[in-house]
Structure 1
Amino acid sequence: MDRAGGMPPYRQLMLQVRDAVRLGWLKPGDRLPTAREVVAASGVNQHTVLKAYRELELAGVLEVRQGSGTFVKDSAGTSAGAGVLTELQQQLENWVRIAHQAGLDDEDMKALLSAALARKVSKK
């Protein structure tokens, strides 16, 4: 959790879960950690975790099964294969390393990525 940023912790947690589903790290049927487990691992308030899980349930991403836990419901992941995602992540990490060496900070890199996405760089 980025405590210095302006985004509330529950939103950060929601985005982490959504990204994990999108990237295929979490798949439909996968059980999420309990709120207590998340609290122990991250130090966020239990109500924060429950709020994030509830919002994701309302959005159709998660399903709460009484007595069993919270499970991934949504399969709105990427259609790219695991190998492609791994290669792209390696390329992106290399780009971040080069950008840091060039003196860019995280906000500079986010701005560059946002600008590239806004231009909707054409698919090849």
Structure 2
Amino acid sequence: MIEFHLEARSGVAPYMQLIQQVRHAMRLGLLKEGDKLPTVKEVVARVAINPNTVLKAYRELEYEGLVQPRPGLGTFVTSTLGGEADLAAHEPLRRDLEGWLAKARDAGLGDESIEALFVNTFRHFSAERAGNSSARTGRG
């Protein structure tokens, strides 16, 4: 079962953080079709959040077709974020990333600096790839 956590300084609304965590868990194969999400009461107790915030996140996930509430039973994953490789296929990438993170720590970077560097590099890489894709197809 997924365990939620909230980052107060992230600038991302708490309900969106819950949604993102469910999506990430699905992409990584940690949540699969049929798995049960924590109850609203469990989430409220774990992360000290307003129950309406949890309900809003769960409703959004339901609207997206990713979960389905079952009265008296809980909220269950009904879909996957298909096309993603099996979790075992992620392991070599995870090990490489952990090595990179260790190098970043050894270079004296803190959590926020590491995150900023990663996000900036990822966005630059994605934009560059999108630009190259447009050039190959004659668009852009």
**Partner deviation per Cα, 1:73-105 (whole Å, 9 max, x = no partner):** 112244312222122122112212212333441
Residues 29-48 of structure 1 aligned to structure 2 (within 5 Å): 29-48=34-53
Q: Does 1:74 align with 2:83?
A: no
User: Contact 1:24–1:78 (CA<8 Å) still a contact in 2?
Assistant: no
The one of 93, 97, 115 aligned to 2:124 = 115
Query: For the aligned residues, what is the CA RMSD?
Result: 1.9
Question: How far apart are residue 16 of structure 1 and its match?
Answer: 0.2
User: Contact 2:44–2:50 (CA<8 Å) still a contact in 1?
Assistant: yes
User: Contact 1:34–1:70 (CA<8 Å) still a contact in 2?
Assistant: yes
In our comparison, the structure showing a higher alpha carbon Rg is 2
User: Contact 2:40–2:54 (CA<8 Å) still a contact in 1?
Assistant: yes
How many matched pairs?
122
User: Partners of 1:95 and 1:78 in 2: how far apart?
Assistant: 26
Residue 53 (structure 1) aligns with: 58
Percent identical among aligned pairs is 43
User: Partners of 2:46 and 2:94 in 1: how far apart?
Assistant: 25
Structure 2, unpaired ranges of 5+: 1-5, 133-140
* Deviating 4+ runs (over 4 angstroms): none
Structure 1, unpaired ranges of 5+: none
Residue 67 (structure 2) aligns with: 62
Residue 16 (structure 1) aligns with: 21
TM-score (norm 2): 0.78
